[in-house]
């Protein structure tokens, strides 16, 4: 009986450790559901983050959408754009609010996929409606962009006020 209890405790401890590492190594400041201090993108240890989040995904039923998003940050940092996009889309499809924002930024800046500013605006608005206040900052930047068909500096100011809580 004692062996069974030790085995169960070890299993539970490993699950918490994997999930905890995923959050600790890759927490996103823009995520309103984050449970850890944010990690700056340049400080991400891509291999460690990808491994921790992969383990958390395999072991957890709760928070899987967040783990996919955080693993995507590791893939992005490591230059694995296809894998990052796949993970962001998976998290987005699960309805995770910060993944909507992440997908918007991919479309906005066009570094990992073709730029689509109209799609970015739509996704930013959806993210903002789902509690991601950083989406207001994205919209402010977007509306200040001369290349955006809906360029509007006044609207950019309004979105910036929303981001800053004014």
Instruction: Give residue-wise pLDDT tens across range 9-68.
Output: 333 333 444 458 999 999 999 999 999 999 999 999 999 999 999 999 998 778 999 999
Distance CA 23, CA 161 (A): 29
The pLDDT tens digits of the residues spanning 31-43 come to 999 999 999 999 9
pLDDT computed for residue 14 by the predictor:
38
Distance CA 122, CA 101 (A): 10
**Annotated domain spans of the chain:** 1-94, 97-166
Buried b (16+ CB within 10 A) or exposed e, 92-125: beeebbbbbbbbbbbbbeeebeeeebeebbebbb
The pLDDT tens digits of the residues spanning 94-133 come to 999 999 999 999 999 998 899 999 999 999 999 999 999 9
């Amino acid at each position: 009986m004692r062996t069974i209890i030790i085995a169960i405790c070890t299993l539970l401890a490993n699950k918490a450790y994997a999930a905890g590492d995923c959050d600790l190594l890759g927490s996103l400041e823009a995520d309103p559901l984050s449970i850890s201090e944010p990690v700056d993108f340049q400080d991400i240890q891509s291999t460690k983050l990808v491994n921790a989040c992969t383990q958390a995904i395999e072991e957890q039923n709760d928070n899987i959408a967040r783990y996919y998003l955080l693993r995507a940050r590791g893939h992005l940092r490591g230059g694995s754009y296809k894998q990052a996009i796949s993970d962001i889309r998976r998290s987005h499809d699960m309805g995770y609010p910060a993944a909507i924002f992440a997908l918007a930024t991919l479309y906005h800046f066009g570094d990992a996929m073709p730029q689509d500013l109209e799609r970015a605006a739509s996704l930013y608005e959806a993210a903002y409606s789902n509690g991601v206040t950083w989406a207001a900052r994205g919209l402010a930047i977007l509306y200040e962009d001369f290349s955006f068909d809906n360029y509007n500096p006044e609207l950019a100011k309004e979105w910036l006020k929303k981001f800053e809580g004014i």
